[in-house]
Chains A and B, each alone.
Chain A
Amino acid sequence: MIIPYAQGQSWLHRIDPLSKLVLILCIALLATRFQTSTEQACLLLVSIVIARFAGGITWIGQWKALSFLIVFVLPLFIITLFTAPGRTPLIEVGVMSITMEGMDMAGSVSLRMFTLFLTSYVYIKTTDPQDLVASLTQVLRIPYRFAFGISMALTFLPLLQEEGRNISAAHHIRGRRQGRGWGERFTWWTTFTTAVVYNAVRRVQQTAAAMESKGFGAYPDRTYLRPIMSWEKGRILAIIGVLITISLGWFI
């Protein structure tokens, strides 16, 4: 699953990238600070509400994003459930036992994963890579070659996804179907992956050449057509976010 930036006019779209980054870090800090399932559930709920009403991401959109994570979170939940130390037995299955503490811990780590993923998803969906580059280079004074690396990665991943779709379509059009047995599936995926990697490398080389031919890296600095986003509103929000994080971290 590759997440592209989605143009929009939501409230979060209008907040500058660095202030949003501070807010995300605040949520990430709280997610690592909170230890119980209830706290994590509250944090996830807040994140979902923000994503819906401040980021304009639909309930279905959020569900699609989070459901992608289930395959990774479920094993983590099960392992934690059986391995976390606890004293209050809930269910006993042979030598294995599930405790209240284990259940709480498993819920906590799983919900934490969902929160961290969702906030990152919202950030990418609502942040134009060009605004991010402009902020990193002009506000934080990060060298533009490095900042463009991040921007290019964000721009490039959807292109690679498209390339992957093209290659998959090419295989189908040319009569290749994914077989049923493990061996046939392995052969199909090997051929497919090799073609995708080969094309990706070729595309990266071509893009690097095209960037260089347009003077990328010619000088230590460059100009920007796009002015950096106003960060007055975002700054106030970031300060409020930091204060809330400190308060919650202090009291919980």
Chain B
Amino acid sequence: MSPEAINLDELTYTYEGDSKPTIKDMTLSIPEGQWIAIIGPGASGKSTLCQLLNGYLPRSGGGRREGSISIEGIDPRNASIADIAERVGVVFQDADAQLVQGNVEADVAFGPENLRVPPADIAHRISASLAAVGLTSHRYSRVRELSGGQRQRAATAAVLALEPRLFVFDDCTASLDSAAQVRFVQVCGSLHEQGRTVLNTSGRFDDVARAAERVIVLQGGAVVLDGPPQELLRKHAAQLVQLGLLPTTEWTAGTTAQRVADAASPGTGGTTIESPVSGGTIASPGEAGFTQCVADAESPVRNVISTSKTALLQLHKLSYTYPGGHQVLRDVSFTLQAGDWGMIVGENGSGKSTLSKLLMGLIPVPRNSVFWDGKDIAGRSVANLAEEIGYVFQQPEHQFVTHSVWDEVTYGFKSKSHKRITLTSQEVELAEQMLLAAGLFERRYDSPYMLSQGEKRILSVICQFVIPKRLVILDEPTSGIDYAGAERILALCRDKVQQGTALLMITHDPNLVARDTSVVLQLHQLRGITTKQHG
């Protein structure tokens, strides 16, 4: 039997100020060279476990740890920085916080330099790591110039260059396009073949989990399932659906047995899955036939809004080049009508977030390119546009402005009236309803920063939905969260559309959203291709 890479013995961890532990009596043994996927719904303890493995918790992050952790025989809580860095490389969820040097090459070199790797070897490691994540062409780019997905890939490359014996990837496919996700699975497979221990976490039974040797399912900080992926899919599909780790639609129609064989193989989780409505397959963005497949899907929402013909938002040959000369959009045209649910798809760096920022006025809009209610929005301030347009940031943290979940949700009410501090009974009721629908009512007095990533996302959505708007732009609202959380967000979106609000959603989850959308804009190589789904 292989020696152990990780050993957890009755591990319990409680955050400072919390009464309940986030990790409860967890006992696990992971042999060296194994490829494990740890999956679980939001707030199941995945990220906490990752931070315990590299010693950040409780050494720097505080809290109380009981039980023991052993990484190749050492306890990360007491180990030296060198011992930990040479053994464990962790890619955390927030890529921005991990890129500390400002440009890609320097960030990838940073770890090996600290470990005194000779410069010639560092240069080789940089080339290999960037090639592995498909970021070679951005070697000399500044981090600020990269898209969210590209930053995530740069953060991954920075840890690959460390060449530790144990890799921990904390949900780092969340912002990746489908091609990058496939590449990431290959990278993990390659590390596994080299005999390294690989640990991935995710809120879904995704392609990475399907390709891993072993899947461990967490719920409420404890292990509830543990076994090879095929076995778990065969024996526990219903439980996985219930936990939100598999999409409901994928498993409810047809027999489970028929689907296990297909679903167990990588490529069925993120790149193509069975269409929930038409029974066909939906190709990923960038693949041939994607837009047509989306167009073929039936939409329950579409029937409600198909009578509306008002052009609410219109893009007319919109081109945008960042200061410095980097062009991201060329002659993109697109129309969104009142009550439409639009979807923007495209590979990482294709300009999706740039486009959404332009629409919100966060980046100066070129003249005669974007029209709101038939009027050019160039020159209009963010505050002015915000009276009618809501915006959900790609990073939920960018949106938080207060110190409790309740204050976040009610912030919009107070903003409307500077002088009024107390809320009306209707506002209180609405805020409570939203929190209940989001599953956050019990956490209303907690700091928004203490929520899990999925909870942060849903909070960022309801903060915008609580105030009536004519259009809400959502930048990857379902990214990196379990299917149950994603479905919760989509249910809230459906309600909004039923009420006549238009939505424009950027997503790497086209399969989840396709049946609801009425118009799709696919961005590819600067250009945009629009597909209308209703006439």
A218 lies within 8 A of B119 (CB)? no
Give CA–CA (A184, B85) in the complex, Å: 49
B449 lies within 8 A of A170 (CB)? no
Residue of B nearest to A198 (CB): B403
B403 lies within 8 A of A216 (CB)? no
A174 lies within 8 A of B382 (CB)? no
Tell me which residues from 206 to 252 in chain A have a Cβ below 8 Å from any Cβ of chain B. 206-219, 221-227
B116 lies within 8 A of A221 (CB)? yes
Q: Which of B76-84, B128-136, B237-245, B519-527 contacts A (4 or more CB under 8 A)?
A: B76-84
Query: Does B114 sit at the interface, judged by CB under 8 A?
Result: yes
Chain B interface SS verdict (over half): helix
A191 lies within 8 A of B383 (CB)? no
**Residues on the B chain within 8 Å of A174, using CB:** 386, 399, 401, 411-412, 415, 463-464, 467
Residue of A nearest to B114 (CB): A215
**Residues on the A chain within 8 Å of B304, using CB:** none
Give CA–CA (A191, B463) in the complex, Å: 17
Give CA–CA (A130, B102) in the complex, Å: 10
Chain A interface SS verdict (over half): helix
Which residue in A167, A173, A225, A226 is a CB contact (below 8 Å) of B382? A173
A167 lies within 8 A of B100 (CB)? no
**Residues on the A chain within 8 Å of B144, using CB:** 158, 162
Give CA–CA (A208, B105) in the complex, Å: 19
Query: Does B250 sit at the interface, judged by CB under 8 A?
Result: no
**Residues on the B chain within 8 Å of A206, using CB:** 92, 94, 97-98
B380 to chain A, nearest CB (A): 12
A218 lies within 8 A of B56 (CB)? no
B114 lies within 8 A of A216 (CB)? yes
B233 to chain A, nearest CB (A): 33
Give CA–CA (A246, B1) in the complex, Å: 75
A213 lies within 8 A of B114 (CB)? no
**Residues on the A chain within 8 Å of B382, using CB:** 169, 172-173
A172 lies within 8 A of B114 (CB)? no
A181 to chain B, nearest CB (A): 9
Tell me which residues from 184 to 236 in chain B have a Cβ below 8 Å from any Cβ of chain A. none
Max count, chain B CB within 10 A of own CB: residue among A173, A217, A224: A173
A185 to chain B, nearest CB (A): 10
B162 to chain A, nearest CB (A): 6
A140 to chain B, nearest CB (A): 18
Which residue in B89, B101, B387 is a CB contact (below 8 Å) of A155? B101
Given contacts A129-B102, A175-B416, A223-B118, contact A213 B54 (CB under 8 A): yes
A130 lies within 8 A of B101 (CB)? yes
- Cβ proximity bits B104-137 to A, threshold 8 Å, 1 near / 0 not: 0110011111111111001100100000000000
B56 to chain A, nearest CB (A): 5
**Residues on the B chain within 8 Å of A152, using CB:** 100
A213 lies within 8 A of B84 (CB)? yes
- Cβ proximity bits A50-65 to B, threshold 8 Å, 1 near / 0 not: 0000000000000000
B109 lies within 8 A of A225 (CB)? yes
Residue of A nearest to B60 (CB): A209
A172 lies within 8 A of B85 (CB)? no
Q: Which of B27-35, B336-344, B389-397 contacts A (4 or more CB under 8 A)?
A: B389-397
Query: Does B90 sit at the interface, judged by CB under 8 A?
Result: yes
Given contacts A209-B60, A213-B85, A215-B82, contact A175 B386 (CB under 8 A): yes
Which residue in A129, A195, A211 is a CB contact (below 8 Å) of B401? A195
B118 lies within 8 A of A214 (CB)? no
B60 lies within 8 A of A208 (CB)? yes
Query: Does A166 sit at the interface, judged by CB under 8 A?
Result: yes
**Residues on the A chain within 8 Å of B114, using CB:** 214-219, 222
- Cβ proximity bits B136-179 to A, threshold 8 Å, 1 near / 0 not: 00000000100000000000001100100000000000000000
Tell me which residues from 5 to 42 in chain B have a Cβ below 8 Å from any Cβ of chain A. none
Give CA–CA (A225, B118) in the complex, Å: 8
B71 to chain A, nearest CB (A): 13
Give CA–CA (A45, B44) in the complex, Å: 64
B119 lies within 8 A of A210 (CB)? no
B119 lies within 8 A of A223 (CB)? yes
A207 lies within 8 A of B119 (CB)? no
Give CA–CA (A166, B96) in the complex, Å: 14
Max count, chain A CB within 10 A of own CB: residue among B115, B399, B401, B418: B401
Which residue in B116, B118, B398, B449 is a CB contact (below 8 Å) of A166? B398
Query: Does B328 sit at the interface, judged by CB under 8 A?
Result: no
Give CA–CA (A165, B90) in the complex, Å: 29
A171 lies within 8 A of B85 (CB)? no
A177 lies within 8 A of B449 (CB)? no
Given contacts A195-B401, A213-B84, contact A175 B60 (CB under 8 A): no
B94 lies within 8 A of A218 (CB)? no
Which residue in A177, A187, A224 is a CB contact (below 8 Å) of B119? A224
B415 to chain A, nearest CB (A): 4
B81 lies within 8 A of A179 (CB)? no
- Cβ proximity bits B410-424 to A, threshold 8 Å, 1 near / 0 not: 011001101100000
Query: Does B381 sit at the interface, judged by CB under 8 A?
Result: yes
Query: Does A10 sit at the interface, judged by CB under 8 A?
Result: no
Given contacts A173-B390, A209-B60, A213-B56, contact A225 B113 (CB under 8 A): yes
Query: Does B61 sit at the interface, judged by CB under 8 A?
Result: yes
B97 lies within 8 A of A207 (CB)? yes
User: Across chains A and B, which 4 residue pairs bring their CB atoms closest together, nearest first?
Assistant: A215-B85, A206-B97, A175-B415, A218-B82
Q: Besides the contacts A166-B398, A184-B418, A217-B81, what 9 more A-B pairs have beta carbons closer than 8 Å?
A: A172-B381, A172-B386, A199-B397, A203-B97, A206-B97, A216-B81, A217-B114, A223-B116, A225-B105
20 A-B contacts (beta carbon < 8 Å)? A129-B102, A172-B382, A174-B467, A175-B386, A176-B411, A184-B418, A199-B397, A203-B97, A205-B60, A206-B97, A209-B61, A211-B100, A212-B60, A213-B84, A213-B89, A214-B114, A214-B159, A215-B115, A225-B112, A226-B106
